[in-house]
Chains A and B, each alone.
Chain A
Amino acid sequence: MPQFFSNKRLIFLLVGMIFLVALISFSLRDRNHASLPEQVIKDVVGFGQSMFSKPTQYITGAFDNVESLLNTYEENKRLKVRLEDYVTLQASVNDLRLENDELRKIVDKKEDLRAYNPIQSTVIARNPDQWEEKIIIDKGEIHGVLVNMAVMTSQGLIGKVTLTTPYTSTVELLSTQNPNYRVSAVIAEGQEVFGLIEGYDEKRKELILKRIDSEYEVKVGQKVTTSGLGGIFPKGILIGEVTEVTTDDYGLTKLAYIKPAASFSILDHVIISKRTITSVDGTDGENTEADLTEGVGDGS
């Protein structure tokens, strides 16, 4: 191919390559903010995408309905068994709620880490190349979505918002390999044991809960929820169940593997939780990426 590498083309190719590398490194540096042209493109493409994905979801929904109709008998049998437990559980929950309200009134505490306003939204696309675990939803800044809000399904926590434009937002799932992705979690059975969800084991398909104080005992099968102490997530969203407990690399703290309660594979409707209590930028946010050594000597 001697005619291909003529001088003019070669120069064009080289300039193109340099421009490209510059562009990639420029956009890699600041991926959590979308500039105005990017926002416009995202909103326009997102609008078109929801035109396509909503009818599809309608059709797949119809298939699901047929499937659940076929399973009705089996399901009914199982549910009947559970129904009796449910009534007693409901009674005790009501009782506890009432008591909680009364106690709150006595101490005059109105705010609650658990309270949040749900924003219902539809998944319009999943990053099709799947190198990163991201989904795009059809609610954005206009609907009150902000970066770092918790995103969940009816089964449990699935991820958090990483980027917003006026009409769409991007959600990074818990199954990401991003090292800066942390969620403050708690195992609350008997005693409260705190830890941080850091990382995802690709082989086991399980989350890793790190930095658990080794004084506390963690058992297999215990439920893990968000602690609300990370600053942005509300308290009490189910994350998953402990499957294995070991010590970490240095033997100082414990480490637990968590089987996620929500499935990450087929997602269509998700809920964004907008916490009612004031948010601060803690471990749930980007604070962990900040340079903490800065200004260390100021106090002394």
Chain B
Amino acid sequence: MMRFLVIAISVLLFYLEPIFGLFSPIELNNDFYVLVPRFLIIYLVFVAIYYDRKRAMLYGLFFGLLYDVFFIDIIGLYSFIYPLICLVASFIVKYIYQHLVVSTILALFLVAGVELLLFLFYTTIGLKTMTFTYFYQHNLIPTMLANAVFLFMFGWAFKYILLNRFNQKALLLQK
């Protein structure tokens, strides 16, 4: 049961992202703010921290590929960024204390990293012309705020589930 929960949550989050994407951009004082739901990568960062790095990267590759094919028609963008972020998360976590607050902040910074990488990619190949200040004010900050809300709501649950699964597996290995 716990076994399938880890993958089931990632599938659920993968499908929830575009639904929350439908509510964005939001209009405030005649200005549009883009909120990008990054639920899946947040979850995968948690998987990398609390459960298994290799598995997180594998899921990252798989869902990144689906994301590439289904949404953006450029294969190799998310399927590279997702595993990379998982790898970075697992390296950083070796040097820091694995508390929930620390992992929450780490996940938020990594989301900002994803956004920054995408900004660099899209402006470099010229699909979008956008200044950094505009990106920072209208995309990055609102996105981080929205994802922070999501993290505060579900971060503890992710940690609980993944640690349980980790312990379960460790017990199985001992036998």
Interface residues of A (CB under 8 A from B): 1, 4, 20-21, 23-24, 26-28, 31, 34, 38, 41-42, 45-46, 48-49, 51-53, 56, 123-132, 134, 136, 163, 170, 177-178, 202, 205, 265-268
Given A24-B75, A126-B18, A177-B129, A265:B36 Cβ within 8 A:
no
> B75 and A128: CB pair below 8 A?
no
Given A28-B125, A127-B71, A177-B129, A49:B25 Cβ within 8 A:
no
Tell me the bound Cα distance from A26 to B77 in angstroms: 12
Given A20-B80, A38-B69, A205:B21 Cβ within 8 A:
no
> A163 and B70: CB pair below 8 A?
no
Given A41-B66, A130-B36, A24:B18 Cβ within 8 A:
no
> B69 and A42: CB pair below 8 A?
yes
Tell me the bound Cα distance from A124 to B16 in angstroms: 11
Choose among B21, B91, B127 the residue that contacts A125 (Cβ–Cβ < 8 A).
B21
- Tell me the smallest distance from the CB of B136 to a CB of chain A, in Å: 15
Besides A53-B19, A205-B32, 7 new A-B residue pairs in contact (Cβ under 8 A), listed by A number: A20-B80, A24-B75, A31-B73, A42-B70, A52-B16, A125-B70, A265-B24
- Check if B97 is an interface residue, CB within 8 A of chain A: no
| B2 contacts across to A, CB distance below 8 A | none
| A1 contacts across to B, CB distance below 8 A | 91
- Check if B5 is an interface residue, CB within 8 A of chain A: no
| A41 contacts across to B, CB distance below 8 A | 66, 69-70
- Check if B15 is an interface residue, CB within 8 A of chain A: yes
A-facing mask of B120-146, CB < 8 A → 1, else 0? 001001011110000000000000000
CB nearest to B25 among chain A residues: A265
> B128 and A131: CB pair below 8 A?
yes
> A125 and B128: CB pair below 8 A?
no
| A163 contacts across to B, CB distance below 8 A | 73
| Interface residues contributed by chain B, number (CB under 8 Å) | 38
Choose among B70, B91, B118 the residue that contacts A136 (Cβ–Cβ < 8 A).
B70
Interface residues of B (CB under 8 A from A): 11, 15-27, 32, 34, 36-37, 66, 68-77, 80, 91, 118, 122, 125, 127-130
Tell me the bound Cα distance from A26 to B74 in angstroms: 9
| B15 contacts across to A, CB distance below 8 A | 48-49, 51-52
| B16 contacts across to A, CB distance below 8 A | 52
> A128 and B18: CB pair below 8 A?
yes
The 6 closest A-B pairs by CB, nearest first: A125-B18, A128-B21, A23-B76, A27-B75, A52-B15, A24-B76
CB nearest to A125 among chain B residues: B18
CB nearest to B40 among chain A residues: A128
Tell me the bound Cα distance from A46 to B16 in angstroms: 13
| A127 contacts across to B, CB distance below 8 A | 18, 21, 71-72
| A132 contacts across to B, CB distance below 8 A | 72, 127-128
Among B11, B16, B74, the most chain A Cβ lie within 10 Å of the Cβ of B74
> B36 and A129: CB pair below 8 A?
yes
- Tell me the smallest distance from the CB of B44 to a CB of chain A, in Å: 15
Among A4, A46, A51, A127, the most chain B Cβ lie within 10 Å of the Cβ of A127
Given A24-B77, A28-B125, A52-B16, A45:B70 Cβ within 8 A:
yes
Given A52-B15, A52-B19, A205-B32, A130:B25 Cβ within 8 A:
yes
> A126 and B22: CB pair below 8 A?
yes
> B127 and A177: CB pair below 8 A?
yes
CB nearest to B68 among chain A residues: A27
- Tell me the smallest distance from the CB of A44 to a CB of chain B, in Å: 9
Choose among B36, B80, B128, B130 the residue that contacts A128 (Cβ–Cβ < 8 A).
B36
| A53 contacts across to B, CB distance below 8 A | 18-19, 22
| A20 contacts across to B, CB distance below 8 A | 76, 80
Given A52-B16, A130-B25, A45:B66 Cβ within 8 A:
yes
| A48 contacts across to B, CB distance below 8 A | 11, 15
CB nearest to A1 among chain B residues: B91
CB nearest to A55 among chain B residues: B19
Tell me the bound Cα distance from A23 to B11 in angstroms: 25
- Tell me the smallest distance from the CB of B89 to a CB of chain A, in Å: 14
Given A27-B75, A31-B73, A41-B70, A131:B21 Cβ within 8 A:
no
Can you spell out 7 A-B residue pairs with CB atoms less than 8 angstroms apart? A20-B76, A38-B73, A45-B69, A128-B20, A129-B72, A134-B72, A265-B25
Tell me the bound Cα distance from A144 to B75 in angstroms: 27
